[in-house]
Amino acid sequence: MKGLVILLLMTLVFTAGCGNETPAPSQQPAEAGGIFIEGVSGGDAETLNWILASDGSSLSYASYTIGSLATYDNDWNVVLRHLAKPVEASGDGLTYTITIRDDLKWSDGTRVTAEDYVYTLKNLMFSDWLNYPYQTDWQEMVDGETIFVEVEAVDQTTFVITRQTVDPEFADNAIYNLTPYPKHIAVKYEGDVKAFTQAEEFNNLSYTGNLGPYRFKEWIRNDKYVVERNPDYYLGQEDDSPYFEQYVTKMLGTTATVHAALEAGDITYSGIDPEKVAKFTELEGINVYTVPTSAYDLVIYNMRNNGWDGLKQKEVRQALSMSIDKQAVINSIRLGFGDPAFSFIPKPSPWYTEEGVPKFGYGPLHDKKKAKEMLYAAGYGARQPDGSIAVQDKDGKPLKLTLVTTPGSRLAEDLAFLVKQELADIGIEVEVKLVPWPTLLRKHVMNKVPGSDQEPRNNNGPEAVSEEPWDFIVMVFNTHPIAPSGSRVFFSTEGGLNFWGYSNPRVDELFVNIRSKEALDIEARKSMYAELSQLIAEDQPVDFLSFPRGNHGFQANVEGIDVGMRLSWNYHKWYFSKP
Amino acid sequence: MNHNLLEVKNLKTYFFTRNGVVQAVDGVNLALRKGENLCLVGESGCGKTATALSILRLIDSPPGKILGGEILFHDEDLLRCPEERLRQIRGREIAMIFQDPQSSLNPVFTVGDQIAEPLKLHLKLNSKEALERARELMEQVGIPQADERMKDYPHQFSGGMKQRVMIAAALSCDPEILIADEPTTALDTTIKAQILDIFHDLKQARNMSILFITHDMGTVAGIADRIVVMYGGKIAEVGTTFDIFDQPAHPYTQGLLTCLPNISAQQQRLTPIPGTIPSLIDPPSGCIFHPRCPKRMPICDQEDPPEVFISDEHRVVCQLYKQPVTSPGKTGDTHSAQ
Amino acid sequence: MKKAGLRGYIIKRLIYAAIITWGVVTITFVLLRVGPMSPADKYLSNMSARTQDPAQVVAAIEARYGLDKPIYEQYFDYVVNLARGDWGWSFSNSLPVVTLIRRHWVYSFQLILLSMLFSATLGILIGVFSAVKRYTRTDYLATLFSFIGISIPNFWLGIMLILIFSVQLGWFKSYYDTGLPMFSLANLKALVLPVITLGTGMMAGYTRYARSATLDNLKQDFVRTARAKGLPERVVIGKHVLRNAILPIITIIMFDLSGIVFGGAYLTEIIFGIPGLGRVSFNALFASDYPVVVTITLIGAMVVLLTNLATDIVYTRLDPRIRYD
Amino acid sequence: MTEKKSGQISDRFGGRRNLVFFSGLLALVAVILLDIYLEAQILEPMGYFYIFFALVATCYALYPLYVNRRLTRYYWERTRRHRLSVLGLAFIIFLIAVALIGPLLTPDPTKVNFDKKNTPPVGFTIQQSVFDTKTDQLVSRETPGTWQHPLGTDEKGRDMLAMLVSGARVSLQVGLLATLMAIFIGALMGVMSAYLGGWWDNALMRFTDVMMTFPFFLLLVFIIFIFGPSLAFIILAIGLTGWTGTARLVRSETLSLRTREFVMASKSLGASGARIIFRHLMPNVISSIIVIATLSIPGIILAEAALSFIGLGDPTVTSWGVVLNAGQRSLDTAWWVAVEPGIMLFLTVLAFNFLGDGIRDAFDPRSQQ
């Protein structure tokens, strides 16, 4: 669906995922007509000028009209979009040759050329003046310096990207997501960020020609985003797709309103809360599809100097994770719609393994008694006269720890309180602090070395601490199932988002190796991922809780859906069956 | 032949307030004859206004309520006729003027409109005709530049002029009876004289019956044909102007008259009536005036005073005159209070 | 004399209005600048962006919104631009604030207008009726009703209406559709619950005002005069009393705009998902999009100011008693 | 001698009572400054509010009420005539009792129990989807209300009764303390404006106009968002934005009083400005202040609830607005979570409105009948 996959975007909103059931193929031929309305309860996007966007919704809005080089189907096969043929990587993994289709056109009729892509990369995405948020995807470390990859146009439809280091997942992490700006328009604004921000063509996507299945029609902020059928769509020349006259994203405030609208038939599709699945499944006119996602929820342990000292010990973290019941998370909060998480790689990923991965908080390793024993062994407990263990701090005082998460999201709150409940059972009192997202980032995530004049960042080295002390943070992360190596920003010592201060030299090494020549070999990479999974699960810098499953409700007359983790990969081929 | 245009018989109007029942009008009998000017006098709070308002059933209800009696107008009992009929009488046959012209005119309509209103309602005149007639009326009551001034709002008029407007509105449909409730009280002395002149002229020119209510004996002397003296919600004395001023029978009337500055008598000081007006919630027993009466007798607080005819036109309610001059049997005023 | 007095009065009011406008603008500027979230911070709330050099990001973003100038220059620009109709650029909506507001104000306006019509009509009707029937059971019921209406939290009422009519009974399930004409049947139906939500409190207030204003005027002597003229009761009340009572009621309705109506409309739009300025402002707030929030607050203040000014001036025309000095 | 001197000093402040009040206020400010300077929490922020509240209540409510017992009784008699206002007062007293004693009797309002989630109130039974671990299926289970949670539980299994009791405390805190703040600032502004007159009056009143022009709730939302939602700050912010009506009223009352004879008289006797303000003006506007204070409380309670409702409440306290917010999210699964706090809120506001109406009539000289 959302053509651009956003890597490692930390978000509390889940995107859709992959499948386990396929509807019976319809006998009816696809025919254009009807308005598809997707109901959402979240906020609006920020901008259609996608290079400036720092939120997921913006990229997804833009993807309806502009599309990217390639996408994946439910089996994680690469499906070509703007690409004329698969990306050709050289044997040494350093050169990528990209050939785009020759029938792509801007709205003014000019051809989309390789030069547009090169310009977009070099002059816009790599520029200082625009500050493209995902620049790191296109950077590599060479001799301790961060540099951008080399890009060069070969002819009208071909351009070449040259790296100096090997990254086997470069295409998945960066190239497939690439979307062009029209050079001949963008040059007018070059260097002037204000003009670029306010450029009308970019803000209402009037340049996108035949690049996407839909064209921009209307955007009423906080109400709806409307795109209409693009008759010139390059993929539609053979099969006349897309089949909806309009695709509307309707913002409806609360999930209750969204559910009511779906039930009333006012909208065509929306996500469904677990509590409502049973009800909607029974409804005649609604089909509910349950698919896995690549997001996972987790409890982060603060290993920096302003967290509880105990958290620096692996055994203590393991003990805590051991007493938090993953199955309880899945049962009580997700009502069964989830899979236990032990590491950062989701189950549908080809790199997933359970071999040698300790499953703290699951099955036999969910053991509160043993957790107490481990805490006692680590020095955080006292043996009572009756032989039981009272968990306490080293100085004999009761343990009082702080858990921080964001308010307004029921899921995050539920998780936080569940953790509180579970840890209360082993005698640790947890205070839940609900802090708005921006404040959480500023006060708890961003850190710097005390007394220094550092600019606060997400990871300013092992000595840095955040402004406010904390012990746990509950969050939701996302992994690219095909290219999980992006998670290095979380788990390597220098990782830009490793704000909890985790450090394991072997893990760092593995993350480096995974982006090197030896990892070009699939089996080698597989074993690296397996070792990473084992190490991180063993170290428990964070307690992985669960990979939730998403529930999606469609009006029963929507045909052509390929149910799976990437539910909407072929959304331009969906259509309404005639009654 | 009954030459009484309006008869009030045994009228009882009480006010039911939070502190108790106020017996504002308690068994009042009076009659208004054609073409006469009947003055209803008494101190403030004695029930004069309540009597006048009861005639047109304008008592605010709640808390006021007319409990009994009859008000006969052309032999029709106004207390029992339907509201609809009463509305036809109000303003058309019986008009009324109130004490305070300042507040009795609606501040948000022009005076022309307010004078023309009854004309449109009762005589079914159209706006233009009604306004033309209103202008004439304003001229008749002595408002200069009526053309201009009828477009003005009440607050642009002086007190006397406002009262003239009120009179003009009351006269608009040429009613048979005009009830004037203390029309001069709120006015300056000189203005008062001018307004009284209008009343004088009215009687002369139109032969209108006027029920003139006032607490000012001085005003009464100039215009009244007959006088009704009220005290504490009851009638104390009724008589012609001559009777009342020359031979006041009731000690209260006598008291009222001594209050009057009498230039000819060269009095140095006015003698006020001692004491205060009685509470009408819990009135004194027997004669209601006895606590203040200079001629009080032991019987006064025991028994209700009788109604005594001193002459055909002159009756008084007082124990002093207990040996009755037998009534010559003239009809009309002679119903007993009981 | 009278004319001059009126003109003087209006000029004085206009000068006051200008001073107040300046005060309002200045306070909004201060609010805009003390906000702890600059657009750069906002941009950096995306954690991926956080891996870049923060100083460089801040500089780039501040340049994007003209925040790199000295503060007095920013203030001067702010005032001048406001006057020119350039109300800044939304941090998170990629369009001029003025465009955003031009798009959305009609929905707020429609909601407020319908609610005011609903509440004023019913409120005045009930209030007058209750005053005419004073101290009867009807009156007590009306008074109790107005107490309840004033006390009921409107956001809770909104939820309860949804619970009863939408969730349980399923009568009003549709949402407000900006694709349909504003006064289409479907949209009016979608507005039924919001209008009741916003209107109930106001209606209760107007019931009280109307009752007491009518009672005040019923006590007036001119009512007796009108009755003595033989006017039927409905003319006495409908013309003489109401004409006097309506002015203070209208004044109160106008002055209500600031607190009750805007606050109420804000919450109502959020609860029912009506895309008016309240919802825009709310979403902008949580997106830390201060120019939008501040401008909408500013517009609210200006609407209040202008309605008050207009009410004052119109009042001088409607009520002949007013003197201007 | 010393007595005379102390008498003079207290006279300058308009009486001993004011002297006590200002000394107390000064001490309080000193402690706050010390607190800020030392960066040590001598008291919780709420503690300062309470001390301030107690100071004002003692000096300007309890003490005068006690001294003028006859007047107190007179006003009480007049208030009592409104049956509804007595009812309102009874409810408020009940609520205060609940807020003070309730938390001792109810479980911890933040204690979650996911096994007991969405239990309806006693007497109701609902069907809800739960995950059955035996069959690994989503099943519909009948959930009856139990006496263990008489008012039911929310989506996290927290006890509704406990949360409502905790909410009563929050609402009363905010209602009373914020009103006090607002009234105090308003009264001070009003009296100063009227007394100083001229340029000052003009400046203060234009400032009042500016503040009045802002839609109160929008401004409040913005300020709370910027400075962060803590209960103490919410109270402060409501106080700082909600004083305008009081200032206007007190100013006009004072202006009409200022020209009265007794002020003239004491001026001619050479009384100081402060003495005139505190000794003569303040006591005379106090009845208006009491009326406006009672009538402001419901609006302020609602403002806090509305803030919490839209997600700007203090997340560390369980207020009715916070519960209501959660209730809105689970409207179709657990209706009582939205219904119950709303009813409490409604009844509280109704009670204050009843009481305020009664007090207004009691103090209104026009309703003498």
ipTM of the modeled complex:
0.79
**Mean pLDDT lowest among A405-414, D2-11, D348-357:** D2-11
Task: Say if residue D157 is in the same domain as residue D34.
Answer: no
- Does residue C56 belong to any structural domain of this protein? yes
Domain that holds residue D5: 1-80
- Does residue D136 belong to any structural domain of this protein? no
DSSP code at position D159: B
Averaged over B220-246, what is the pLDDT?
84
Please determine, for residue A542, whether its predicted confidence score (pLDDT) is greater than 90: yes
The string of pLDDT tens digits covering residues A59-114 is 889 889 988 899 998 888 899 999 999 999 998 889 999 999 988 999 999 999 99
- CATH label of the domain that carries residue C255: 1.10.3720.10
- Does residue C323 belong to any structural domain of this protein? no
Averaged over D286-314, what is the pLDDT?
85
Tally of residues, chain C = 325
Residue in D with minimal Cα distance to B19? D369
From residue A210, how far is each of A121, A201, A206, A233 by CA, in Å? 21, 15, 11, 5
Q: Touching B: which chains, 3+ CB pairs < 8 A?
A: C, D
Continuous H helices in C219-289: 221-228, 233-235, 242-256, 262-272, 277-286
According to the model, what pLDDT value does residue C319 have? 65
* A438 with C42: Cβ contact below 8 A: yes
> Between chain A and chain B, are at least 3 CB pairs below 8 A?
no
According to the model, what pLDDT value does residue A286 have? 93
Going by pLDDT thresholds of 50, 70 and 90, the confidence category of residue B335 is very low
Strand-pair category, A88-89 with A95-99 = antiparallel
**Mean pLDDT lowest among A29-38, B226-235, C254-263:** C254-263
Distance CA A526, CA C160 (A): 55
Task: Say if residue C136 is in the same domain as residue C90.
Answer: no
Task: Say if residue D76 is in the same domain as residue D218.
Answer: no
Task: Say if residue D30 is in the same domain as residue D172.
Answer: no
Task: Say if residue C221 is in the same domain as residue C116.
Answer: yes
Averaged over A566-577, what is the pLDDT?
88
- Report the share of chain D in percent with pLDDT over 90: 4
Averaged over D355-360, what is the pLDDT?
83
Task: Say if residue D177 is in the same domain as residue D260.
Answer: yes
Tally of domains within chain B = 2
Task: Say if residue D12 is in the same domain as residue D102.
Answer: no
Q: Is the peptide bond before C248 cis (omega within 30 degrees of 0)?
A: no
Task: Say if residue D103 is in the same domain as residue D72.
Answer: no
Which residues on C lie below 8 Å from B73 (Cβ)? none
Backbone angles phi, psi at B229, to 5 degrees: -100, 125
Does B58 contact chain C (CB < 8 Å)? yes
Distance CA C257, CA C11 (A): 24
Chain D residues within 8 angstroms (CB to CB) of chain B: 369
The string of pLDDT tens digits covering residues C163-204 is 888 777 878 766 777 777 778 777 888 888 999 998 898 888
Residue with the bigger pLDDT between B134 and C37: it is B134
Cβ-contact A317, A366 below 8 angstroms: no
According to the model, what pLDDT value does residue A248 have? 92
Going by pLDDT thresholds of 50, 70 and 90, the confidence category of residue A149 is very high
With tokens 């039927």, the residue in question is: C232
According to the model, what pLDDT value does residue B11 have? 84
- CATH label of the domain that carries residue B64: 3.40.50.300
- 166-195 in chain B: CB under 8 A from chain C: 166, 169-170
The string of pLDDT tens digits covering residues A105-138 is 999 999 999 999 999 999 999 988 887 888 888 9
Distance CA A344, CA A490 (A): 10
Distance CA D228, CA D225 (A): 5
Please determine, for residue B330, whether its predicted confidence score (pLDDT) is greater than 50: no
- Does residue C22 belong to any structural domain of this protein? yes
Going by pLDDT thresholds of 50, 70 and 90, the confidence category of residue D295 is confident
Please determine, for residue C41, whether its predicted confidence score (pLDDT) is greater than 70: no
Residue in B with minimal Cα distance to C322? B155
Does A489 contact chain C (CB < 8 Å)? yes
Please determine, for residue B336, whether its predicted confidence score (pLDDT) is greater than 50: no
- CATH label of the domain that carries residue D318: 1.10.3720.10
Please determine, for residue A5, whether its predicted confidence score (pLDDT) is greater than 90: no
Domain that holds residue C236: 104-286
Residue in C with minimal Cα distance to A40? C273
Cβ-contact A337, A277 below 8 angstroms: yes
How many other C-beta atoms lie within 10 A of the C-beta of residue B312? 14
**How far is the alpha carbon of A131 from chain D, nearest alpha carbon, in Å?**
26
Task: Say if residue C13 is in the same domain as residue C58.
Answer: yes
The string of pLDDT tens digits covering residues B129-138 is 888 888 888 8
Does D152 contact chain C (CB < 8 Å)? no
Task: Say if residue B220 is in the same domain as residue B253.
Answer: yes
Going by pLDDT thresholds of 50, 70 and 90, the confidence category of residue C227 is confident
Task: Say if residue D201 is in the same domain as residue D293.
Answer: yes
Tally of domains within chain C = 2
- Could you tell me the two tokens for A363? 């099955």
According to the model, what pLDDT value does residue C173 have? 66
Which residues on A lie below 8 Å from C162 (Cβ)? 256
Chain C interface, best mutation among A54, A203, A435, by max C CB count within 10 A: A54
Going by pLDDT thresholds of 50, 70 and 90, the confidence category of residue C29 is confident
According to the model, what pLDDT value does residue B262 have? 56
Q: Pick the last residue of a domain from B286, B307, B330.
A: B286
Residue A493 CB burial class (10 angstroms; 0-12, 13-18, ≥19): middle
Q: Which of A414, A396, A394 minimizes the C-alpha distance to A405? A: A414
- Does residue C177 belong to any structural domain of this protein? yes
Going by pLDDT thresholds of 50, 70 and 90, the confidence category of residue A288 is very high
Does C226 contact chain B (CB < 8 Å)? yes
Domain that holds residue B169: 103-174
Distance CA A540, CA A342 (A): 9
According to the model, what pLDDT value does residue A122 have? 92
Residue type, A348: P
Task: Say if residue B168 is in the same domain as residue B232.
Answer: no
Of C153, C159, C285, the CB nearest to D302: C153
Chains B, D: CB contacts under 8 A, how many?
3
Averaged over C274-291, what is the pLDDT?
82
Residue type, A324: I
Averaged over B92-114, what is the pLDDT?
82
Which residues on B lie below 8 Å from D369 (Cβ)? 17-19
According to the model, what pLDDT value does residue D351 have? 92
- Does residue C115 belong to any structural domain of this protein? yes
Chain B interface, best mutation among C136, C224, C225, by max B CB count within 10 A: C225
Q: Give the mean pLDDT of chain A.
A: 86
Task: Say if residue D189 is in the same domain as residue D51.
Answer: no
Which residues on D lie below 8 Å from C263 (Cβ)? 215-218, 306
According to the model, what pLDDT value does residue D226 have? 78
Chain B interface, best mutation among D77, D361, D368, D369, by max B CB count within 10 A: D369
- Does residue C11 belong to any structural domain of this protein? yes
Residue with the bigger pLDDT between A112 and C40: it is A112
* B91 with C319: Cβ contact below 8 A: no
Going by pLDDT thresholds of 50, 70 and 90, the confidence category of residue D368 is very low
Residue B227 CB burial class (10 angstroms; 0-12, 13-18, ≥19): buried
Going by pLDDT thresholds of 50, 70 and 90, the confidence category of residue D12 is low
Task: Say if residue B109 is in the same domain as residue B217.
Answer: no
According to the model, what pLDDT value does residue C324 have? 42
Does C136 contact chain B (CB < 8 Å)? no
According to the model, what pLDDT value does residue C1 have? 39
The string of pLDDT tens digits covering residues D75-105 is 777 777 778 888 888 998 898 888 888 888 8
* B56 with C319: Cβ contact below 8 A: no
Residue with the bigger pLDDT between C47 and D243: it is D243
Task: Say if residue D298 is in the same domain as residue D324.
Answer: yes
- Does residue C250 belong to any structural domain of this protein? yes
Q: Tell how far CA D237 is from the center of its chain.
A: 12
- Could you tell me the two tokens for C301? 């203040």
According to the model, what pLDDT value does residue B261 have? 61
Residue with the bigger pLDDT between A325 and D279: it is A325
Q: Touching D: which chains, 3+ CB pairs < 8 A?
A: A, B, C
**How far is the alpha carbon of B182 from chain C, nearest alpha carbon, in Å?**
13
According to the model, what pLDDT value does residue C7 have? 78
- Does residue B56 belong to any structural domain of this protein? yes
Please determine, for residue A383, whether its predicted confidence score (pLDDT) is greater than 60: yes
Tally of domains within chain D = 2
Going by pLDDT thresholds of 50, 70 and 90, the confidence category of residue D347 is very high
**Range with the largest mean pLDDT of A269-283, B239-253, D40-54, D250-264:** A269-283
Please determine, for residue A12, whether its predicted confidence score (pLDDT) is greater than 60: no
CB within 8 A of C236, min separation 6: which ones?
C223, C226, C227
Task: Say if residue B67 is in the same domain as residue B181.
Answer: yes
User: Which H or E element spans position D298?
Assistant: helix D282-309
- Does residue C150 belong to any structural domain of this protein? yes
Task: Say if residue C76 is in the same domain as residue C206.
Answer: no
With tokens 């009812």, the residue in question is: D87
* A266 with C167: Cβ contact below 8 A: no
**Mean pLDDT lowest among A215-229, A483-497, B273-287, D166-180:** B273-287
Residue in D with minimal Cα distance to A273? D330
**How far is the alpha carbon of C168 from chain D, nearest alpha carbon, in Å?**
8
Continuous H helices in A76-138: 114-119
According to the model, what pLDDT value does residue C318 have? 67
DSSP code at position C174: P
**How far is the alpha carbon of D253 from chain C, nearest alpha carbon, in Å?**
20
Please determine, for residue A395, whether its predicted confidence score (pLDDT) is greater than 50: yes
CB within 8 A of A408, min separation 6: which ones?
A436, D311
Task: Say if residue C93 is in the same domain as residue C110.
Answer: no
- Does residue B307 belong to any structural domain of this protein? no
- Could you tell me the two tokens for C67? 């925040």
Task: Say if residue B162 is in the same domain as residue B144.
Answer: yes
Averaged over B250-279, what is the pLDDT?
67
Q: Give the mean pLDDT of chain D.
A: 79
The string of pLDDT tens digits covering residues A168-185 is 889 988 899 899 999 999
Give CA angle at D213 (D210, D218), nearest 5°: 115
**Range with the largest mean pLDDT of A501-515, B12-26, B279-293, C241-255:** A501-515
